[in-house]
Structure 1
Amino acid sequence: MKTYSHPESLVETAWLADHLQDPGIRIVESNEDVLLYDTGHIPGAVHIDWRADLNDPWIRDYIAPDQFAALCRKNGISETTTCIFYGDKSNWWACYALWAFRLYGHTRVKILNGGRDKWIREGRPMVREKSSYPEAPYPVPTTRHDKEIRAFYDEVLAFLPTGGPLIDVRSPGEFTGELLHMPEYPQEGALRGGHIPGAKSMPWKTAVREDGTFKSADELAHIYEQGCGLSTDREAIVYCRIGERSSHTWFVLTYLLGHKKVRNYDGSWTEWGNRVGAPIERP
Structure 2
Amino acid sequence: MKVYFKIQLKILSRYITDAGINKYLGWALIFIAFVFFSNYTLSENNNLHFIYILVPIFLIAKIASKRRLRFLEFCFPPKKFYKIRLIESLILSLPFAVFLLYYSYPQLALILFILSFLLAFYKRGFSFNFVVPTPFGKYPHEFIIGFRKTFPLILASYFLVAISIIYANFHLALFVIFIQFILSAGYFMHQDLLGYVWVYKHRSHLFLLKKIKLAFFQHFVLYGAELVLFFYFFSDKILLILIFYFLGVLFLSGAILLKYSAFPERIGVKESMLVALAVYFPPLLIALIPYFYVQSVKSLAKYLDD
TM-score (norm 2): 0.24
Higher RCO, Cα 8 Å, sep 6+? 1
Query: Hey, which of these two has a bigger chunk of helix by percent?
Result: 2
- TM norm structure 1: 0.25
Q: Which has the larger radius of gyration?
A: 2
Greater fraction strand? 1
